[in-house]
Amino acid sequence: MKTVVVLPTYNEAENLPLMVEQLRALPVVDLHVLVVDDNSPDGTGQLADELRQRYPDFVLAVLHRPGKLGLGTAYIQGFRRALELGADYVIQMDTDFSHPVEAIPRMLEAIASVDVVVGSRYTQGGQLDPSWGWRRRLLSWGANSFVRWRTGLKLQDTTGGFRCYRRRVLEALDFSRVRSDGFAFQFETAYAIQRKGFRFVEVPILFRDRTKGASKMSLRIILEAFWRAWEMKGRY
């Protein structure tokens, strides 16, 4: 069974080589990686091409986009390309190591009985980075609580971006309806998947803070998430 890990990147040159090394080392048969780069000024896209040449024994594909077009569209294009590559399972994750690479085998085990596996900070056993202050914890908890209340999502971690999908789930989604760009993309797609009747399970992870590179979070992204949670239910 072919697994494709989709890695959207923008200025992740410090993280990408180590991420590829750790993915190569996983005890997962037929694991492929797809880097979706938004023309990163730091040369992440070119570095991805170099890594593809450096490791001819490892299937690494690169999708170059003309500019910074947004996380949501990066995932949508990445999902479509992964399906074209023949993926049976598609994993989405960040390249900054906030999502633990070592959890991927557990997620692939869990998907044997469900349709989507979510690497969850808020299910039993999940953890946030100990360095998070109370304000950041409160904002994250509040956003999750608001999204669950507004949308009726059954997930504990509605905004988490570490997921494993069966092929049939992505094939069933109409991505032309998805309007979210930042982390709102995570709960909008989860909402669309739940409406289709697919089954989720959450596996606990430790969500770590990045140690290299700069966060892409902004006030615009936060405000978009609250607006999308409010208008999305009526739109669907």
Burial group, residue 20, by CB count within 10 angstroms (0-12, 13-18, 19+): buried
Q: Where are the domains of the chain?
A: 3-235
Please tell me the predicted confidence (pLDDT) of residue 137. 87
pLDDT at position 181, please? 79
Six token digits for residue 75: 């995932």
Each residue's pLDDT tens digit, 24-60: 999 999 999 999 999 999 999 999 999 999 998 899 9
Instruction: Give the pLDDT score at 179.
Output: 84
pLDDT at res. 103: 98
**b/e per residue 210-230 (b: at least 16 CB within 10 A):** beebeebeeeebeebbeebbe
| pLDDT at 147 (0 to 100) | 86
Below-70 pLDDT ranges, the chain: 210-227, 229-230
pTM of the model: 0.91
Structure tokens at 79: 């999902």
CATH of domain 3-235: 3.90.550.10
Predicted pLDDT at 223 = 67
Which one-letter DSSP state was computed for residue 102? G
Q: At a CB cut-off of 8 Å and minimum separation 6, what does 74 contact? A: 8, 36, 38, 65
DSSP E strands: which ranges in 161-208? 163-166, 200-204, 206-207
pLDDT at res. 200:
96
The whole-number pLDDT of residue 167 equals 98
DSSP 158: S
pLDDT recorded at residue 220: 62
- Give the C-alpha distances (Å, rounded to integers) separating 109 from 6, 28, 113, 212, 222: 19, 11, 9, 30, 33
**pLDDT for the residue 221:** 58
Instruction: Give, as one character, the DSSP assignment of residue 52.
Output: H
Half-sphere exposure for 101 (CA within 13 Å, toward CB): 21
**Residue 140: predicted pLDDT:** 82
The sign of the torsion formed by the CA atoms of 155, 196, 163, 1 equals: positive
Burial class (CB in 10 A: 0-12, 13-18, 19+), 197: exposed
Could you give the CA distance from residue 37 to residue 31 in angstroms, rounded to a whole number? Answer: 19
Phi and psi of 32, rounded to 5°? -120, 155
Strands in 3-9's sheet, in edge-to-edge order, are 60-64, 31-37, 3-9, 89-92, 163-166, 116-120, 200-204
* Residue 130 backbone dihedrals phi, psi, to 5 degrees: -60, -20
